[in-house]
Chain A
Amino acid sequence: MDTLQVKKSSTVHDVVIIGSGAGGGMAGHYLAMAGVKVLMLEAGPFFDPAKDSHQLKWPWESPRRGASTVRAFGDFDAAYGGWEIEGEPYTRAAKTEFDWFRSRMLGGKTNHWGRISLRMGPKDFQCTDGLTDNWPITYDDVKPYYDRVDRMIGVYGTKEGLENEPDGIFLTPPKPRLPELFIKRSAAKIGVKVIAGRGSVLTEALPGNKDRGQCFYCGQCGRSCKVYADFSASSCLVIPAMKTGNLTVITNAMVREIITDKSGVATGVSYVNRDDLQEYQVNAKTVILGASAAESARILLNSKSTAHPNGLANNSGVVGKYIHDSTGASLGGFLPQLLDRKRFNEDGAGSVHIYSPWWLDNKNLDFPRGYHIEYGGGMRTPSYGFGGGIHNQNGTVAGSDGNKKPAGGFGADLKNDYRRFFGTQVGMAGRGTAIARATNYCEIDPTVVDKFGIPVLRFNYTWSDAEVKQAKHMQETFQALLHEMGAIVTSKVHGPEDSWGLEAPGRIIHEVGTIRMGNDPKKSALNKWCQAHDCKNLFVVDASPFVQQGDKNATWTILALSMRTAEYILEQRKKSNV
């Protein structure tokens, strides 16, 4: 490259959106439908589930039989990327942990998630224990948007009337699978509440929507759906918005920074194209950031200027701070009573069929807040790892002849054991509230750049006693439940030596909170509309604005807040304020 030149377009777009996931996708969809001309920058390639999904492929169609060698969740999972991406490093401060999952592709991380779609509750927005900062908005402020998201995208579930697990507008949930019925029965006996799952999968036709198909129960939402029966930001938001002619997507556009003028107003975005490695700059009247909690913070911190010497929208100094993932721990085993079970198609829907919302009162516990439990099990498509560790299982129960035998083995008898054990597995995973703390943060590593020359993030995150105690409680609940079911635990049993199996921060892929909203510009980066205090034509629509996450998965709240912000932008445009 002899002459490095930034290719500057003269067009001024109404809105430029960075990112095409749940947040960027919703804002883009809303504005494009309202007639606004939107340019969307996506850091990865285009992805249309109708063409690109690996749905209904058989394990032998992958040379590695679906192993996760090149893709974090295996060859058939829809999500590109993972915790490590060649040429795009990040660093961690000494003695801290954080694993950063990135999915650079149209739809972002909505390509991976389990479609579990939970609203945050009144106490998640306005806490009653005084432990964390409150949001500048309440559940009642967000409820109308949750309702609209439910109607627009579709979510199954049951009305339960629980105070902090608000009901939505639900489609019919799928019935439990066989192992899940055992879970349900045993949970009731030990006082753990189990209700129908809440997932964004169309178990019924979505009223008023002609473009999306209905679920045909392959259980493979993780691969994304060829008939658009589950929610992906690509199929449900971006692609429909493109059809209006108002939204254009530039793929492989890796954003460097947001450009501001001398007065500090955002004027555009600069990016490098992954394919041709040329530098580009586009102009915008309004910039919407939805690159994911950590990436959006990175972009703001890298957008330094005379007007914004501390990074864009960062006069408060909070950008990057308060990053928090959900807590996570799990345990699994098998149900001896299901050995030699009769075969039938048990794939079901690709989101959870049942789950346990948080059911206890913290007054009696030694940790704050709580967690929900996601359950799984049943006769699923075999893939790499099938039958693994059978020598830890087949010696624990009587063989076909009624007698116990030594574990392990080989030959016809072993071959029969694989058949006997098929579909007997049960697993459970807790997902809990981690406390947002200013001392957990990401920042720009002053010494490291990625392959595009963009300074990278350095994470500084440690769990506290609160999260570890929560994980301990999860494990005790899982043990009690598996015991009550008569299950034999086969996964690693955790204890104090490994923080009760508490996953490293970032492993649950629910990181939020890096560009928090608030009423006080000294303590927050965004106002209650997710508009930057320091830059009025800059908005953030991913999970960065979250003040404090509940135990609920972030997606449904991202969608509701993004819709709310898009509506606000539309109103402000009418008043010519942005």
Chain B
Amino acid sequence: MNRRDSLKALGLTVVSSGVLIEACKTKDTQPAAIEPPVAEAGREKFEMEHDKKLKNAAKFFTDHEMATITILGDIIIPKDEKSGSASDAKVPEFIEFIVKDIPTHQVPMRGGLRWLDMQCLKRYNASFVTATKQQQLEMVTDIAYPEKVKPGMQPGVSFFNRMRDLTASGFFTTEIGVKDLGYVGNQPNKWEGVPMDILKQYGLENV
């Protein structure tokens, strides 16, 4: 079976590469798949049951915590000229799911959020959510740079490192995020090595 037949077997018609690329893209209208289907091919029963259980589980975060996560997420990954913000990519919903899926996130996240609120209460007599935009940024600045951490701020740095990582995971694994990165793989193609202009750029033509 040649490559053409391979693609046919995948249900793809080889007309032109452009058509091929379109055929492999998921439609923009398709929502992020949170709901596992009843019987998914290639999944064990216990996996589907686990996913269903998580989907139907009670919310872990309170509304207040979710509001805090949403603001923090958008501070970490804001909307810019290239793409939307963390909340546009439903990062808060992803974080709600992943802490239930990976319970070791739960205590550091819950405790970190409360630590943040207590800091804001001391400083601004307000929770993080009700603090002014300027105060929020001032607070975040104090915990966003591990190498410049001031005494007493270490718990905040640990929390923010986790929050930053979860936000990145949640954002760049969505359609918005993958497009933002310019990742052009995950589709049938023919690999013929690094393009010549790039080999030249790095002086690797003869390697």
> Which residues of A does B touch, CB under 8 Å?
45, 47, 50-54, 56, 58-67, 69-71, 78, 80, 86, 174-178, 181-182, 184-185, 205, 209-219, 226-227, 229, 337, 341-349, 379-391, 395, 406-412, 414-415, 418-419, 422
Contacts and interface: CB of A to CB of B under 8 A. Distances in A.
A217 B190 contact: yes
Interface string B166-195: 001110111101101111111111111111
Task: Please list the 7 inter-chain residue pairs (A to B) with the smallest Cβ-Cβ separation, ordered nearest first.
Answer: A213-B6, A175-B193, A387-B168, A52-B42, A59-B173, A216-B188, A65-B173
B140 interface: yes
B204 A227 contact: no
A348 to B, nearest CB: 5
Interface of B: 1-3, 5-7, 9-10, 24, 26, 32-34, 36, 41-42, 44, 46-47, 50-51, 54-55, 75-78, 80, 94, 97-98, 101-102, 140, 144-148, 157, 160-161, 164-165, 168-170, 172-175, 177-178, 180-195, 197-199, 201-202, 204, 207
Contacts of B6: 213-216, 227, 229
Given A216-B6, A380-B185, A63 B33 contact: yes
A71 B40 CA distance: 15
A174 B6 CA distance: 18
B184 A345 contact: yes
Nearest to B4: A214
A219 B185 contact: yes
B26 to A, nearest CB: 6
B77 A216 contact: no
Contacts of B3: 213-216
B135 to A, nearest CB: 15
A347 B98 CA distance: 27
Contacts of A54: 42
A411 B161 contact: no
A182 B207 CA distance: 8
Contact of A383 (B173, B192, B197): B173
A341 B26 CA distance: 26
A386 B7 CA distance: 29
A64 B7 CA distance: 29
Contact of A410 (B10, B97, B102, B164): B164
Given A389-B165, A390-B168, A415-B78, A56 B147 contact: no
Contacts of A217: 188-191
Nearest to B143: A408
8 contacts: A60-B33, A175-B194, A176-B207, A213-B9, A381-B186, A386-B168, A406-B148, A419-B182
Contact of A175 (B36, B187, B192, B201): B192
B98 A411 contact: no
Contacts of B178: 58-59, 381-382
Contacts of A382: 172-173, 177-178, 181, 183
Contacts of A184: 207
Contact of B185 (A175, A215, A345): A345
A344 B202 CA distance: 15
Contacts of A418: 168, 172, 181
Contacts of B160: 408
Nearest to A229: B6
Contacts of B94: 65
Nearest to A224: B42
A162 to B, nearest CB: 21
A347 B173 contact: no
Given A58-B175, A181-B204, 10 more contacts: A60-B173, A86-B46, A213-B6, A216-B188, A390-B164, A390-B168, A408-B160, A409-B145, A415-B78, A418-B181
B168 A410 contact: no
B77 A414 contact: yes
Contacts of B177: 382
B185 A347 contact: yes
Contact of B1 (A71, A174, A211): A211
Contacts of B50: 70
B102 A60 contact: no
A343 B207 contact: no
B73 to A, nearest CB: 10
A347 B191 contact: yes
Nearest to A213: B6
Contacts of A182: 202, 204
A386 B172 contact: yes
B97 A64 contact: yes
A64 B102 CA distance: 9
A411 B76 contact: yes
A181 B5 contact: no
A484 to B, nearest CB: 13
Contacts of B161: 389, 391, 408
Contacts of B187: 56, 218, 345
Q: Which of B50, B160, B173, B197 has the most CB of A within 10 A?
A: B173
Given A60-B175, A61-B33, A209-B1, A422 B181 contact: yes
A385 B169 contact: yes
Nearest to B42: A52
Contact of A181 (B145, B173, B194): B194
